[in-house]
Amino acid sequence: MKVTFLGTGTSQGVPVIACHCPVCTSTDVKDNRLRSAVLLEYNGYSVVIDTGPDFRYQMLRQQVNRLDAVLMTHSHKDHVAGLDDVRAFNYQQQQSIPIYSTKATHEALRKEFYYAFSEHKYPGIPQLELEEVFPGIPFELYDQQILPIEVMHYKMPVLGFRIGDFAYITDAKTISEASMKALEGVQVLVLNALQKEPHISHLTMDEAIEVAQQVAAKQTYFTHISHRFGLHQDIQSWLPKDIFLAYDQLVIEI
Protein backbone atom coordinates (compact mmCIF):
# COMPACT_ATOMS: atom_id res chain seq x y z
CA MET A 1 0.00 0.00 0.00
CA LYS A 2 1.18 3.47 -0.89
CA VAL A 3 0.39 6.28 1.55
CA THR A 4 0.70 9.94 0.53
CA PHE A 5 0.37 12.74 3.06
CA LEU A 6 -1.90 15.22 1.27
CA GLY A 7 -1.71 17.64 4.18
CA THR A 8 -0.15 17.66 7.64
CA GLY A 9 -1.36 20.94 9.10
CA THR A 10 -3.89 21.79 11.77
CA SER A 11 -7.24 23.51 11.15
CA GLN A 12 -5.67 26.80 10.03
CA GLY A 13 -2.92 25.25 7.95
CA VAL A 14 0.60 26.66 7.85
CA PRO A 15 1.28 29.47 7.13
CA VAL A 16 -1.61 30.94 9.10
CA ILE A 17 -3.37 33.95 7.59
CA ALA A 18 -1.79 37.24 8.74
CA CYS A 19 0.81 35.47 10.90
CA HIS A 20 4.46 36.47 10.53
CA CYS A 21 6.06 34.06 12.99
CA PRO A 22 9.28 32.22 12.02
CA VAL A 23 7.31 29.10 11.02
CA CYS A 24 4.76 30.92 8.87
CA THR A 25 7.52 32.85 7.09
CA SER A 26 9.88 29.87 6.76
CA THR A 27 11.35 29.18 3.31
CA ASP A 28 11.53 25.44 4.06
CA VAL A 29 8.76 23.78 2.03
CA LYS A 30 8.32 21.23 4.83
CA ASP A 31 6.94 24.06 6.98
CA ASN A 32 4.08 24.67 4.50
CA ARG A 33 1.18 22.48 5.60
CA LEU A 34 -2.25 22.05 4.07
CA ARG A 35 -5.07 20.66 6.22
CA SER A 36 -4.54 17.05 7.29
CA ALA A 37 -5.50 14.19 4.96
CA VAL A 38 -3.90 11.13 3.38
CA LEU A 39 -4.28 9.22 0.13
CA LEU A 40 -4.18 5.42 0.25
CA GLU A 41 -3.49 3.47 -2.93
CA TYR A 42 -3.85 -0.32 -2.88
CA ASN A 43 -5.18 -3.12 -5.09
CA GLY A 44 -5.62 -0.61 -7.91
CA TYR A 45 -7.94 1.66 -5.88
CA SER A 46 -7.56 5.16 -4.45
CA VAL A 47 -9.06 6.06 -1.07
CA VAL A 48 -8.67 9.31 0.86
CA ILE A 49 -9.02 9.86 4.58
CA ASP A 50 -10.81 13.21 5.02
CA THR A 51 -11.64 15.92 2.51
CA GLY A 52 -10.71 19.21 4.15
CA PRO A 53 -10.81 22.74 2.69
CA ASP A 54 -7.67 22.04 0.61
CA PHE A 55 -9.06 18.85 -0.99
CA ARG A 56 -9.34 20.27 -4.52
CA TYR A 57 -5.76 21.54 -4.54
CA GLN A 58 -4.47 18.35 -2.91
CA MET A 59 -6.02 16.27 -5.70
CA LEU A 60 -4.52 18.54 -8.36
CA ARG A 61 -1.11 18.70 -6.68
CA GLN A 62 -0.84 14.90 -6.50
CA GLN A 63 -2.41 14.44 -9.94
CA VAL A 64 -5.06 12.09 -8.58
CA ASN A 65 -7.14 10.91 -11.53
CA ARG A 66 -9.46 8.52 -9.73
CA LEU A 67 -11.16 8.39 -6.35
CA ASP A 68 -12.96 5.26 -5.20
CA ALA A 69 -13.95 6.05 -1.60
CA VAL A 70 -13.60 8.44 1.32
CA LEU A 71 -12.97 7.47 4.94
CA MET A 72 -14.14 10.31 7.18
CA THR A 73 -12.74 10.73 10.68
CA HIS A 74 -15.25 13.31 11.96
CA SER A 75 -17.32 16.31 10.93
CA HIS A 76 -15.12 19.29 11.80
CA LYS A 77 -14.70 21.72 8.90
CA ASP A 78 -10.98 21.14 8.47
CA HIS A 79 -11.79 17.50 7.68
CA VAL A 80 -14.96 17.74 5.57
CA ALA A 81 -15.18 21.20 3.96
CA GLY A 82 -13.87 20.09 0.55
CA LEU A 83 -16.31 17.21 0.09
CA ASP A 84 -18.23 19.05 -2.64
CA ASP A 85 -15.24 18.69 -4.96
CA VAL A 86 -15.67 14.93 -5.25
CA ARG A 87 -18.22 15.84 -7.95
CA ALA A 88 -15.32 16.13 -10.40
CA PHE A 89 -14.67 12.43 -9.84
CA ASN A 90 -18.43 11.72 -10.07
CA TYR A 91 -18.39 13.27 -13.54
CA GLN A 92 -15.21 11.59 -14.74
CA GLN A 93 -16.10 8.15 -13.37
CA GLN A 94 -19.87 8.36 -13.88
CA GLN A 95 -20.52 6.94 -10.42
CA SER A 96 -21.18 8.04 -6.87
CA ILE A 97 -18.50 8.07 -4.16
CA PRO A 98 -19.05 6.11 -0.92
CA ILE A 99 -18.33 8.00 2.31
CA TYR A 100 -17.49 5.67 5.20
CA SER A 101 -18.03 7.10 8.67
CA THR A 102 -20.29 7.11 11.72
CA LYS A 103 -23.97 8.02 11.81
CA ALA A 104 -23.15 11.26 13.66
CA THR A 105 -20.71 12.35 10.94
CA HIS A 106 -23.19 11.42 8.22
CA GLU A 107 -25.88 13.49 9.90
CA ALA A 108 -23.51 16.47 9.93
CA LEU A 109 -22.74 15.96 6.24
CA ARG A 110 -26.45 15.88 5.44
CA LYS A 111 -26.79 19.32 7.04
CA GLU A 112 -23.57 20.80 5.66
CA PHE A 113 -24.16 19.54 2.12
CA TYR A 114 -27.94 19.51 2.24
CA TYR A 115 -28.25 20.07 -1.52
CA ALA A 116 -26.57 16.72 -2.21
CA PHE A 117 -29.26 14.90 -0.26
CA SER A 118 -32.37 16.91 -1.15
CA GLU A 119 -35.36 15.24 -2.75
CA HIS A 120 -35.10 17.43 -5.85
CA LYS A 121 -31.42 17.48 -6.76
CA TYR A 122 -29.85 20.28 -8.78
CA PRO A 123 -27.74 19.14 -11.76
CA GLY A 124 -24.02 18.81 -11.06
CA ILE A 125 -24.19 18.28 -7.29
CA PRO A 126 -21.89 15.72 -5.66
CA GLN A 127 -23.14 12.16 -5.73
CA LEU A 128 -22.46 10.60 -2.33
CA GLU A 129 -23.32 7.25 -0.78
CA LEU A 130 -23.21 7.30 3.01
CA GLU A 131 -21.90 3.99 4.35
CA GLU A 132 -22.14 3.68 8.13
CA VAL A 133 -19.30 2.01 10.01
CA PHE A 134 -18.85 1.26 13.69
CA PRO A 135 -15.83 1.50 16.01
CA GLY A 136 -14.27 -1.87 16.65
CA ILE A 137 -16.13 -3.60 13.81
CA PRO A 138 -13.99 -4.20 10.69
CA PHE A 139 -15.36 -3.90 7.18
CA GLU A 140 -14.08 -4.90 3.76
CA LEU A 141 -13.14 -2.27 1.20
CA TYR A 142 -11.64 -3.43 -2.10
CA ASP A 143 -10.39 -6.74 -0.68
CA GLN A 144 -8.80 -5.03 2.32
CA GLN A 145 -10.05 -5.18 5.90
CA ILE A 146 -10.41 -1.79 7.55
CA LEU A 147 -10.90 -1.41 11.29
CA PRO A 148 -12.43 1.83 12.61
CA ILE A 149 -10.88 2.83 15.94
CA GLU A 150 -12.55 5.34 18.24
CA VAL A 151 -10.51 8.07 19.92
CA MET A 152 -11.71 11.15 21.79
CA HIS A 153 -11.23 14.71 20.52
CA TYR A 154 -11.97 16.32 23.91
CA LYS A 155 -15.59 15.10 24.27
CA MET A 156 -16.13 14.28 20.60
CA PRO A 157 -15.70 10.72 19.30
CA VAL A 158 -13.42 10.58 16.25
CA LEU A 159 -12.56 7.63 14.05
CA GLY A 160 -9.08 6.45 13.37
CA PHE A 161 -8.55 3.67 10.83
CA ARG A 162 -6.35 0.59 10.81
CA ILE A 163 -5.64 -0.93 7.42
CA GLY A 164 -3.46 -3.99 7.83
CA ASP A 165 -0.15 -2.91 9.37
CA PHE A 166 -0.96 0.80 8.96
CA ALA A 167 -2.99 3.00 11.30
CA TYR A 168 -4.06 6.63 10.96
CA ILE A 169 -5.23 8.62 13.99
CA THR A 170 -5.87 12.34 13.97
CA ASP A 171 -7.54 14.83 16.33
CA ALA A 172 -7.06 12.55 19.33
CA LYS A 173 -6.63 13.69 22.91
CA THR A 174 -7.38 10.43 24.71
CA ILE A 175 -7.24 6.84 23.48
CA SER A 176 -9.01 4.13 25.44
CA GLU A 177 -7.42 0.87 26.50
CA ALA A 178 -9.60 -0.99 23.99
CA SER A 179 -8.50 1.29 21.16
CA MET A 180 -4.85 0.94 22.17
CA LYS A 181 -5.28 -2.81 22.02
CA ALA A 182 -6.67 -2.46 18.49
CA LEU A 183 -3.36 -0.84 17.51
CA GLU A 184 -1.23 -3.77 18.67
CA GLY A 185 1.10 -5.04 15.97
CA VAL A 186 0.83 -1.94 13.78
CA GLN A 187 4.05 -1.40 11.83
CA VAL A 188 3.40 2.19 10.71
CA LEU A 189 1.42 4.60 12.90
CA VAL A 190 0.31 8.11 11.99
CA LEU A 191 -0.65 10.18 15.01
CA ASN A 192 -1.60 13.79 15.65
CA ALA A 193 0.83 15.93 17.66
CA LEU A 194 -0.35 19.52 17.68
CA GLN A 195 2.29 21.41 19.67
CA LYS A 196 4.43 21.33 22.81
CA GLU A 197 2.05 23.26 25.06
CA PRO A 198 -1.01 21.62 26.69
CA HIS A 199 -4.17 21.54 24.58
CA ILE A 200 -7.70 20.56 25.52
CA SER A 201 -8.49 18.43 22.46
CA HIS A 202 -5.22 17.37 20.82
CA LEU A 203 -2.20 15.34 21.86
CA THR A 204 0.88 17.39 22.61
CA MET A 205 4.34 16.30 21.48
CA ASP A 206 5.12 14.57 24.78
CA GLU A 207 1.70 12.89 24.90
CA ALA A 208 2.03 11.70 21.32
CA ILE A 209 5.52 10.33 22.01
CA GLU A 210 4.13 8.41 24.98
CA VAL A 211 1.34 6.89 22.86
CA ALA A 212 3.80 6.06 20.07
CA GLN A 213 6.12 4.29 22.48
CA GLN A 214 3.23 2.28 23.91
CA VAL A 215 2.10 1.18 20.45
CA ALA A 216 5.74 0.46 19.53
CA ALA A 217 5.27 0.59 15.76
CA LYS A 218 8.42 0.30 13.68
CA GLN A 219 7.76 3.80 12.38
CA THR A 220 5.55 6.58 13.72
CA TYR A 221 4.74 9.79 11.86
CA PHE A 222 3.30 12.85 13.55
CA THR A 223 0.75 14.98 11.69
CA HIS A 224 -1.84 17.74 12.30
CA ILE A 225 0.96 20.15 13.13
CA SER A 226 0.43 23.72 14.38
CA HIS A 227 2.66 26.67 13.53
CA ARG A 228 3.11 27.03 17.30
CA PHE A 229 4.99 23.73 17.36
CA GLY A 230 8.09 25.12 15.67
CA LEU A 231 10.17 24.61 12.54
CA HIS A 232 10.15 21.18 10.92
CA GLN A 233 13.91 20.65 11.25
CA ASP A 234 13.84 21.64 14.93
CA ILE A 235 10.92 19.38 15.81
CA GLN A 236 12.55 16.40 14.11
CA SER A 237 15.67 16.91 16.23
CA TRP A 238 13.55 16.63 19.39
CA LEU A 239 11.93 13.32 18.46
CA PRO A 240 13.12 9.86 19.54
CA LYS A 241 14.42 7.28 17.10
CA ASP A 242 11.77 5.81 14.77
CA ILE A 243 9.43 8.79 15.29
CA PHE A 244 9.28 11.25 12.41
CA LEU A 245 7.52 14.48 11.61
CA ALA A 246 5.39 14.04 8.49
CA TYR A 247 5.26 16.73 5.83
CA ASP A 248 3.07 17.44 2.84
CA GLN A 249 3.62 15.09 -0.14
CA LEU A 250 5.64 12.61 1.91
CA VAL A 251 5.12 9.12 0.46
CA ILE A 252 5.61 5.90 2.37
CA GLU A 253 5.25 2.32 1.14
CA ILE A 254 3.79 -0.33 3.44
- Cβ atoms 240, 205 nearer than 8 A: no
CA angle 242, 247, 253 (to 5 degrees): 60
Q: Which residues of the chain have pLDDT under 50?
A: none
In sequence order, which ranges of the chain are alpha helices (DSSP H)?
A: 55-61, 77-80, 87-93, 103-112, 177-182, 205-215, 232-238
Q: State the pTM of this model.
A: 0.97
Instruction: Look at the chain and report how many structural domains it folds into.
Output: 1
Using CA atoms, how far apart are residues 224 and 36, in angstroms rounded to an integer? 6
pLDDT, position 81: 98
pLDDT, position 140: 98
Residue 221 lies in domain: 2-253
pLDDT, position 48: 98
Exposure class string for 48-63: b at 16+ Cβ within 10 A, else e:
bbbbbbbbeebbeebe
Domain containing 244 — which CATH number? 3.60.15.10
